[in-house]
Amino acid sequence: MSHTPVDLDRQLGQSMGVRRFGRINRLGLQTLIGREVRRFLAVWQQTVFAPLMTAGLFVLVFALALGRDRGEVMGVPYVEFLGPGILMMTVIQNAFANSSSSIISAKMQGNIIDTLMPPLSAGEILTGYLVGSLIRAALVAVVIGLGLAAVLGLVPEHPLWAATFITLGALFMGGLGLLAGIIAQKFDQMAAITNFVVTPLSYLSGTFYSVHALPEPFRTLSHWNPIFYLIDGVRYGFLGVSDAPPARGLLVCTAAVLLVGWIGWRWLRSGYRMKP
């Protein structure tokens, strides 16, 4: 009995665990997620333990330098005000680094074809990278959160809000890292994006201060920075205080995640700057 090329293609896809016609390739998606998780766990000292040390140094330096003289900020001691911002800043930086380093390394080493060749849709590839970034960000958040609880006795007043903004932050920055990895063709281009875009947005987001203390127009400009709402939302989750209404932050951050995800999906679907 003869088979047409379409029949052979369908049989090949079924033998590889692929579900076509709009269904999810669960095997391929799980494999991609597993690869991303194993990639950062292989160097856990750098990807999980190092962020804890960095966050601890930030809190220690600011506590010693300003903690006693700074007074309260938004009705809470300055060190407690600082803790959630440091946690979120570290989380989003690691989420960005996870997806961006994965893609740019694959492009530079010439094995990006291993991601493009399998029968994975653009949405599945996007999901795999975002879930990998989310898992790394969640581990970092748990580790730093335990440190804040142990050292400062700081536990979330609204844990659901805190978890929601941490999740949105990981997805937003993971998606932004994916876009940066697609755009960049060399490591120095990725370093430029990190140094001149991601780092300034992270540090100028109200991590170390309340934006209400800023003069105009910087106070208004801060509200155009999505990372401000991520920092502010996590601070509300931990302390119950915020510069902006949490519902507004939730709306802005959700819109930012959807926008970045849509752009990433379009670029992956078209192969923009990905195909060798």
- pLDDT score recorded for residue 21: 42
Supply the pLDDT for residue 101: 93
Burial of 120 (0-12, 13-18, 19+ CB in 10 A): buried
The reported pLDDT for the residue numbered 45 is 86
Residue 228 has pLDDT above 80, yes or no: yes
Q: Which residues pair with 73 in a beta bridge?
A: 76
8 Å CB contact between 228 and 170: no
Q: Is the confidence at residue 1, as pLDDT, over 70?
A: no
Give the DSSP H/E element, type plus range, for residue 167: helix 159-183
> How big is the CA angle at 179 (ends 171 and 246), to the nearest 5 degrees?
30
Minimum mean pLDDT range among 134-143, 218-227, 261-270: 218-227
DSSP 8-state class, residue 211: G
Q: Which pLDDT belongs to residue 267?
A: 95
The position carrying tokens 């920092």 is 231
Domain range summary for the chain, segments of one domain joined by +? 24-270
Q: In this predicted model, which residue has the larger pLDDT, 199 or 263?
A: 263
Closest CA to 141 of 166, 124, 117: 166
User: pLDDT at position 78, please?
Assistant: 84
Tell me whether strands 72-73 and 76-77 are parallel, antiparallel or unpaired.
antiparallel
The whole-number pLDDT of residue 214 equals 81
Average pLDDT, the chain: 86
Nearest to 51 by CA among 132, 156, 134, 136: 136
The pTM for the full model equals: 0.87
Average pLDDT over residues 66-87: 81
Q: What is the pLDDT of residues 30-54, one digit of tens each?
A: 999 999 999 999 988 888 888 888 8
Any residues with CB less than 8 A from the CB of 122 and at least 6 apart, and which?
265, 266, 268, 269
Q: pLDDT tier at 69 (50, 70, 90 boundaries)?
A: low
Residue 13 has pLDDT above 60, yes or no: no
Given a contact cutoff of 8 angstroms between Cβ atoms, the answer to whether 102 and 36 are in contact is yes
Burial class (CB in 10 A: 0-12, 13-18, 19+), 178: buried
Q: How far apart are CA 152 and CA 248, in angstroms?
A: 29
